[in-house]
Amino acid sequence: MKKILCFAFAGAGLLAACSPGKDTLATADTNDDVILHAWSWSFDTIAANMKDIAEAGYAYVQTSPANTCFVGENGGMALFSQPGDTVAGKWYYYYQPTDWKIGNYLLGNRDQFKAMMDSAAKYNVKVIVDVLPNHTAIDHTAVLPSLDEAVGGHDKLYHANGFTPIKDYNDRYECTTGEMGGLPDVNTENPDFQHYYMTYVNDLLSLGVKGFRYDTAKHIGLPSDPLDSLATRNNFWDVATGREEVKGLKLAVPADSLFIYGEVLQDKNVKETEYAEYMDLTASAYGHALRTVLDKADFSADSLLNWHHPVDGKHLVTWVESHDTYANEHESAGLTDEQIRMGWVFLAARQNGTPLFFSRPAGSTRDNYWGNNRVGARGNDEFKHPEVVAVNKFRRDMKGQPETIATANNGTVIEVARGNAGAALINISSAAQTVEGLDTTLADGDYQDAVNGTSFSVKDGKLSGTLSPYTSYLLYSK
């Protein structure tokens, strides 16, 4: 059974009619960039690989948190140590701030960060830094005295409710003021803290940073949320995005010149549309749907024709997997590298969303998720696999082209056509698939895949050819 699914968006929420005309259409609103999440790579490692990152077609590289952090397990550098391992450590210690200054023992110091930024500038790659103003280290006594002093004392650093564990994540008061997973909740509404935090943000900007990922963003209150007793206004996001100054300090550059997005994981009673007034958001539910499709090798196993989100796709960061789905509960870790790659080609070939490629650990397998198990090391080679590089560049080449999604062979084959300028073909199954008569918007003629040189043909708007297992193909109109 063959299906063609018209998804040519001319504007937010407007579904345009599909027509496989012979003239290239360049009228659609599109996102054209992709992000490499260099998860747990050190600043030195990112700098050393910047040329490869640029040549692989990434507009952005996202670092792990750069802030001063809790030194766990005697400073061991394992990604995730197990009892009896010769090297101790955990990757998540950099998510436990003890101060908001550039540099930590896991990723590198300020000079190394600056050298990374210099490398990024050389290769025209923009850097996004993962920032986390929401909480401090579980051991809050490890917070540095200079931070306590700057915010008016240790007790002023936290919400009045900041040490009360969250029991109901759908309760906005608990969610935005309570202790999450043992991490005490910072009083992000304290003007002294806001000033201290924005000093850190502006220092990052002074070195050339071009964007931020806000970790646990849904745990920081919006203006409409209940107030903690130590807060007078929920205005953190107005300050963080430069709408307001705090104590004479303001975001150093216009927010619209930066790529800012928030980790607003979807659940009941999450105010996605209000968060979207300040920044782009993560499409966590869409990622789950895509993984279901990949796991079942069936496009119809879940709906990929909507974003599972109230916010338009142009303002969503999409992924096949994130560091949380891989490293926390290993929800996505069982998918093979080939399956992840097919999912990436689908996301990157699409008209909207800003796809983020998560770099898995070097040496990782489906039996050994941690691989070589070292913080600071480069991830595996998948970020620069020929099919990944090809679709990253295809995305830019298809700028302005509306998408049409078609499937064949019981959902094992997916086509993402972009106007009649090009198309991505993806086999998400472990068996070869021969398609005959797959609906397409490509003009009639013979086509050769840009990666493997495989031939396909189109006659009367129907595409035919054979796809190898877990392989993607990119066709360009002549």
Identify the CA nearest to 115 among candidates 127, 106, 101. 127
Query: Does residue 324 have an active-site annotation?
Result: no
User: Cα–Cα distance between 378 and 227 in angstroms, integer?
Assistant: 42
Q: Which helix (H) or strand (E) holds 239?
A: helix 236-240
Q: How many helices (H) and strands (E) does the chain have?
A: 12, 20
User: Cα–Cα distance between 311 and 331 in angstroms, integer?
Assistant: 25
Is the Cβ–Cβ distance between 133 and 62 less than 8 Å? no
Query: Does residue 155 have an active-site annotation?
Result: no
Q: How many CB atoms lie within 10 A of CB 44?
A: 16
DSSP-derived 3-state class of residue 299? helix
* Contacts of 455 by beta carbon, 8 Å cutoff, 6+ apart: 446, 447, 448, 449, 465
Identify the CA nearest to 42 among candidates 104, 121, 132, 123. 104
- Catalytic residue (one of 99, 215, 403, 415): 215
- Catalytic residue (one of 263, 302, 387, 449): 263
User: Cα–Cα distance between 418 and 415 in angstroms, integer?
Assistant: 10
Amino acid at 375: V
DSSP for residue 249? B
Q: How many CB atoms lie within 10 A of CB 196?
A: 23
Token couple for 210: 């071009």
DSSP-derived 3-state class of residue 284? helix
Q: How many CB atoms lie within 10 A of CB 314?
A: 17
The CB-side HSE value for 97 (13 A sphere, CA atoms) comes to 24
DSSP-derived 3-state class of residue 54? helix
Tokens 């599909």 found at: 18
Is the Cβ–Cβ distance between 186 and 228 less than 8 Å? no
Identify the CA nearest to 184 among candidates 233, 115, 133. 133
Identify the CA nearest to 67 among candidates 188, 178, 212. 212
Tokens 């550059």 found at: 253
User: Cα–Cα distance between 218 and 383 in angstroms, integer?
Assistant: 29
Q: Is 368 exposed, middle or buried (0-12, 13-18, 19+ CB in 10 A)?
A: exposed
Question: Could you give the residue numbers annotated as active site?
Answer: 215, 263
